[in-house]
Structure 1
């Protein structure tokens, strides 16, 4: 019943309409009436794709040199804006924030750049390069648009979007993953180190700076 669905990205644009890319088109399927509406990408096949049900907008990139991100409103399908970044070949992932007019994008080789946009104002807020890292998933924290979850082929990173007045910066916070046996390798806590048998200090656990003044 889903014509042309390629088992890739899809999303709900409202409570009863699902949308997904199909070749040069974004198809909108009303799950109640089974009516399909098509939005054509005029410049070639659709690349990355994301939908936002709260704002009823869809974002997609085209697959061509120096790709552009287009944002359209449903059901009129009118174009709201175009986002032009530094990507040379392709965007692999797009993600809308749950609150606010924000969109995250990730480009493929050669840049591998994570970018955060204010799509309503057509402003690039911040970006960060991750050379050689292929992404598989990208999503905003539903409760906080200033946190992004970035999933790579062998890593998970929480990116914090820090703001100082009108400037925004991305701060990396890697997530430690368990090994094949499901355990996490212990690591030394440099702030509150574990006491060892040969440690001459037998008092309470204190920061390294405090211990240095006591021993």
Structure 2
């Protein structure tokens, strides 16, 4: 039988049930009755995992070549759909949106692809590659499903899902992080440079391209 908790990845599937992966299983623990249920991954070990208490659904990938993302509903433990992307080896991160039928996934080497799905309709909305970037955390904005926060080992990026009718596109907005001393390097504006205190002329600032000789 399946016992133990070997990972920090867990989540509430409803108000009183916690679920988490353990080997080839997803375990469901009722925190009031202390009863446990198990859902087996038929194709091997469970990889990435996510749960959504609002919709009472969970998603997990299997660890095999060309992995698949499985969506299950709770408490029926029925499988409404499977998401098949272009990942060759593994998915490392999964995250549900707080509202709407959306799921974000991130694959490992060699693709390193961030994808956004409509899991109810089994549609890949958009994806973007980040070569060589290992992700550590992925989450939706609770108030806006079209914004995602992606955290890597040394960077934070806000991704926006731009939408025009049925077309979706991911746009990247890096977040400037402080250095080891806790200071943020100011952004240098090459078009309108800052005023210099040693400049005796106190007229308007000119673009670099307007300065004589450039």
Question: TM-score scaled by structure 1?
Answer: 0.92
Q: State the match for 2:181 in structure 1.
A: 181
Number of aligned pairs? 210
Q: State the match for 1:45 in structure 2.
A: 45
Task: State the Cα RMSD in Å.
Answer: 2.0
Runs of 4+ in 1 over 3 A off after TM superposition: 197-201, 203-206
Q: State the match for 1:170 in structure 2.
A: 170
C-alpha displacement of 1:128: 0.4
Q: SS state of the match for residue 64, structure 1?
A: coil
Deviations 1:19-53 (A, max 9, x none): 00011110000000001011111100000000000
Q: Indicate conservation of the 8 Å contact 2:7/2:21, yes or no.
A: no
- CA distance, structure 2, for counterparts of residue 42 and residue 52 of structure 1: 22
- CA distance, structure 2, for counterparts of residue 35 and residue 197 of structure 1: 71
- CA distance, structure 2, for counterparts of residue 201 and residue 26 of structure 1: 70
C-alpha displacement of 1:195: 1.1
C-alpha displacement of 1:201: 5.9
Q: Indicate conservation of the 8 Å contact 2:158/2:174, yes or no.
A: yes
Q: State the match for 2:108 in structure 1.
A: 108
- CA distance, structure 1, for counterparts of residue 37 and residue 204 of structure 2: 68
Q: State the match for 2:24 in structure 1.
A: 24
- CA distance, structure 1, for counterparts of residue 85 and residue 199 of structure 2: 55
Deviations 1:91-139 (A, max 9, x none): 0000000011000000000000000000001000000011100000000
Question: TM-score scaled by structure 2?
Answer: 0.92
Q: State the match for 1:125 in structure 2.
A: 125
C-alpha displacement of 1:164: 1.4
- CA distance, structure 1, for counterparts of residue 16 and residue 168 of structure 2: 36
Q: State the match for 2:158 in structure 1.
A: 158
Structure 1 residues 146 and 183: alpha-carbon distance in aligned structure 2, compared to 1, 3 A threshold: same
Q: Indicate conservation of the 8 Å contact 2:93/2:138, yes or no.
A: yes
- CA distance, structure 1, for counterparts of residue 66 and residue 201 of structure 2: 62
- CA distance, structure 1, for counterparts of residue 61 and residue 29 of structure 2: 20
Q: State the match for 2:94 in structure 1.
A: 94
- CA distance, structure 2, for counterparts of residue 5 and residue 53 of structure 1: 20
Q: Indicate conservation of the 8 Å contact 2:60/2:69, yes or no.
A: yes
Gaps of 5+ in 2: none
